């Protein structure tokens, strides 16, 4: 009667959602301030004033039809040109309006990219730990998600395993750096090595292999460079979002970059336009297109995330946890204190510490703690992490 | 290397687009004021002041995180409740937040509905003349679009042909009233007859058949009632948009209604949630969710469209055209003056009258004239329509 698969995807509750709802119930019993909810990746830094001011200024001064009218499918050409120039200034690239396709955030951008590229039997490679929605997005376009096991020492790429998993069916590799959930940033060495392997394999198989760079966390990096992948590998699609950089997750605004050097630019860009059309993702929200053009190049305020990262990391290390040092995004991904990360997160609930099992990200034995929450909540959580760790030692 | 079908969909130029671009080129030569562009269905009534004021008020008074944060996938529950109440007041329905899924406009709403319902070998029926994107949306979810020939006398439903085309494969029937491109509004009689046939066929086949009511033009009706289909047929999904009613086409905001009386409500709503997830259409733009709640129930200003409809209709009749009287939307769909509507529209170009051939809407021998343009442009076009008609008589 209906599409069973859609019903299943629409009703199966995610682990994160279940944990979040448990937190809401507990908050009603013990009080909001006694719940330490590290489950959700929702930016808690307020939207910058310059974003609000830009939106109000546009609404007060521009003709309504110029604000709210249809734009062409890939987005307002002037907006695309402005954003392209701002990318060029930062990364020394050569983009113009024609290289950008504005989208409703990064999730739409990656799904459009998958749909544009996917042919029958295609495989898309992700590196664990990875954002779990990749699987459902890739499968929805008829592709298969192939997962490279994690390299828990530093959460860079496990190249030995990766090399074994590239096949003539590999259409693209998904890179997500700064990474959700590990907080790692792929180093220049990692990116160069990745590019070299892909170039060699592409030559061997006589077909291009793409990188889809999923970059919603690009601006959230602490004292490390985040290499701009098109500068190191030609066949790259960049999927960007303003959700985290400007704390606008609900507004759905981002873009895809199709670099000039990509193989057969016109065909790739055309396929992206077609995928956006059938996914009904043409013409991203028009007011927000204008706002991002007005705010292009303005910096993100990452001071709170930086402070929180250090506070939580130091606290967990002090409590005896093992954890890779955070470099970006707003997540820590420490080792759980027992092999079964589900059991560990269940035990943490006793202290109202709400954590997400690593298994959901393809990396069992770890847990994710999102620190985009009040600094004070993190401070008050540290003695509880300590107690939890002591439980395991006694 | 890429998905060929996506490339084809992303690069094949639509007739409307080609005509529009021809108009831009001509305007550069003969001047903007000498081009009579009836090709585009872009609202030309300005966005109401109360919409702008609502947006500015929200931006100035609410916490940024409450405006721009993620909403739950189907949209802000308070917004859904408010919009549901406003529907109830108008149509005597019994909806609440749980019946609504907020979407990025009507195109997303219908695509999500197709994806939620489509099983292998499913057929979706449309009545000519119809919105051409239906075909690509239906095919993109693996369905087949079946087209019922038009009934040019009044552009109501051709029930004889319809009855022959319903089969056990029919999953749903798409209703678009007020209609693009005919400007007709389906009468209460038409809707009741449609409902009776579907009920009988559903019983005969032992399976539900849905109506997907695509209603972006609901508020644009001139002195006729637009029956609210869920009041006449239980298995209806309503796909609504604020693009035309509030002149906000670029902002992508609308909703799907899943009525309580639909067969297996939970399963249908669940499938819609799953379809929205894989099409990355969860969480419609959050500022606009708040704006539509603030403006729910406010009237659309249709006075300009009403005036234009009468002016163009009277002028065309006077020039000797045959045309069904406009009842809604912002289109006329007259008979072309020769059987080949492409040849007719080509000939009209000599006068810089830009019209769209009916064949593109599944109804050859007609043409579409969108009158959502300046009244003065219509006035100045009438002598040209007259000359064109005289050409055919001489």
For strand B170-175 and strand B123-127, is the pairing parallel, antiparallel, or unpaired? parallel
Residue A212 sits at the chain B interface (C-beta within 8 Å): no
For the stretch B227-241, pLDDT in tens is: 999 999 999 999 999
Top residue of B172, B278, B288 to mutate, by most chain A CBs within 10 Å, is B278
pLDDT at A30: 94
Are the beta carbons of A65 and B55 separated by less than 8 Å? Answer: no
- Within 8 A of A251 by CB-CB distance, chain B residues are 68, 285-287
In eight-state DSSP terms, residue A240 is E
Are the beta carbons of B115 and A274 separated by less than 8 Å? Answer: no
- Give which of A10, A284, A36 is closest to B105, Cα–Cα: A284
Q: How far apart are the C-alpha atoms of A321 and A317, rounded to whole Å?
A: 5
What is the Cβ-side half-sphere exposure of residue B234, based on CA atoms within 13 angstroms?
Answer: 10
* CB-nearest partner of A250 from B55, B68, B105: B68
What CATH code is assigned to B50-148+167-174+204-295? 3.40.640.10
Evaluate whether the domain defined by A69-295 bears CATH number 1.20.1050.10. Answer: no
- Within 8 A of B278 by CB-CB distance, chain A residues are 6, 9, 111, 136-137, 140
Helix, strand, or coil (residue A357): strand
* CB-nearest partner of A274 from B10, B52, B118: B10
Percent share of chain B, pLDDT over 90: 96
- In tens digits, chain A (394 residues) has pLDDT values of 999 999 999 998 888 888 988 998 999 999 999 999 999 989 999 999 999 999 999 999 999 999 999 999 999 999 999 999 999 999 999 999 999 999 999 999 999 999 999 999 999 999 999 999 999 999 999 999 999 999 999 999 999 999 999 999 999 999 999 999 999 999 999 999 999 999 999 999 999 999 999 999 999 999 999 999 999 999 999 999 999 999 999 999 999 999 999 999 999 999 999 999 999 999 999 999 999 999 999 999 999 999 999 999 999 999 999 999 999 999 999 999 999 999 999 999 999 999 999 999 999 999 999 999 999 999 999 999 999 999 999 8
- Which pair of structure tokens corresponds to residue B304? 């300009």
- Give which of B293, B156, B303 is closest to B219, Cα–Cα: B303
Residue B46 sits at the chain A interface (C-beta within 8 Å): yes
Distance from CA of B65 to the nearest CA of A (A): 6
pLDDT at A45: 95
> How many beta-carbon contacts under 8 Å exist across A and B?
237
Q: How far apart are the C-alpha atoms of A76 and A134, rounded to whole Å?
A: 28
* CB-nearest partner of B9 from A44, A250, A277: A277
With a cut of 90, say whether residue B16 has pLDDT above it: no
Residues carrying CATH 3.40.640.10, chain A: 69-295
Residue B283 sits at the chain A interface (C-beta within 8 Å): yes
Evaluate whether the domain defined by B4-47+301-393 bears CATH number 3.20.20.370. Answer: no
Residues carrying CATH 3.90.1150.10, chain B: 4-47+301-393
Residue B288 sits at the chain A interface (C-beta within 8 Å): yes
* Averaged pLDDT for residues B17-46: 92
* CB-nearest partner of A3 from B42, B118, B279: B118
* Averaged pLDDT for residues B113-123: 98
Q: How far apart are the C-alpha atoms of A75 and A71, rounded to whole Å?
A: 6
Residue B111 sits at the chain A interface (C-beta within 8 Å): yes
* CB-nearest partner of B59 from A3, A56, A65: A56
**Region at A264 (left for phi over 0; alpha for psi -120 to 50; beta for the rest):** left
Instruction: List strand residue ranges (DSSP E) for chain A, in order.
Output: 36-37, 100-103, 123-127, 144-148, 170-175, 210-215, 236-241, 254-257, 331-332, 353-354, 356-357, 367-370
Distance from CA of A272 to the nearest CA of B (A): 7
Q: How far apart are the C-alpha atoms of B30 and B160, rounded to whole Å?
A: 48
- Within 8 A of A14 by CB-CB distance, chain B residues are none
- Which pair of structure tokens corresponds to residue B312? 């163009």
- Give which of A120, A270, A282 is closest to B6, Cα–Cα: A270
């Amino acid at each position: 009667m209906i599409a069973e698969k859609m019903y299943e995807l629409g009703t199966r509750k995610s682990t994160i959602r279940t944990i979040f709802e448990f937190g809401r119930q507990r908050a009603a019993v013990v009080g909001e301030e006694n719940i330490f909810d590290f489950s959700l990746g929702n930016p808690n830094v307020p939207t910058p004033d310059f974003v609000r001011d830009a939106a109000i200024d546009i609404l007060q001064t521009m003709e309504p039809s110029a604000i709210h009218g249809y734009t062409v499918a890939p987005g307002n050409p002037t907006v695309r040109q402005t954003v392209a120039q701002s990318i060029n200034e930062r990364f020394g690239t050569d983009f113009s309006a024609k290289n950008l396709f504005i989208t409703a955030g990064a999730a739409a951008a990656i799904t459009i990219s998958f749909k544009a590229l996917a042919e029958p039997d295609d495989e898309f490679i992700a590196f664990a730990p990875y954002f779990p929605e990749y699987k459902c997005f890739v499968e929805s376009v008829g592709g298969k998600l192939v997962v490279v096991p994690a390299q828990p020492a530093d959460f860079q790429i496990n190249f030995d395993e990766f090399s074994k998993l590239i096949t003539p069916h590999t259409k693209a590799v998904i890179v997500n750096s700064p990474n959700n959930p590990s907080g790692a940033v792929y180093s220049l060495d990692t990116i160069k090595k990745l590019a070299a392997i892909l170039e060699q394999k592409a030559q061997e198989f006589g077909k291009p292999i793409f990188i889809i760079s999923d970059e919603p966390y690009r601006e959230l990096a602490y004292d490390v460079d985040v290499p701009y992948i098109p500068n190191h590998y030609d066949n790259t699609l960049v999927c960007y979002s303003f959700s985290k950089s400007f704390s606008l997750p609900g507004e759905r605004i981002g873009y895809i970059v199709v670099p000039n050097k990509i193989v057969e630019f016109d065909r790739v860009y055309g396929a992206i336009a077609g995928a956006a059309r059938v996914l009904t993702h043409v013409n991203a929200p028009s007011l927000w297109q204008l706002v991002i053009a007005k705010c292009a190049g303005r910096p993100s305020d990452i001071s709170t995330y930086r402070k929180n990262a250090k506070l939580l990391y130091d606290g967990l290390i002090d409590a005896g946890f093992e954890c890779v040092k955070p470099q970006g995004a707003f997540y820590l991904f420490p080792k759980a204190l027992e092999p079964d990360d589900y059991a560990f997160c269940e035990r943490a609930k006793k202290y109202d510490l709400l954590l997400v099992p690593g298994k959901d990200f393809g990396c069992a034995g770890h847990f994710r703690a999102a620190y985009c929450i009040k600094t004070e909540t993190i401070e008050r959580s540290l003695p509880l992490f300590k107690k939890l760790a002591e439980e395991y030692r006694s």
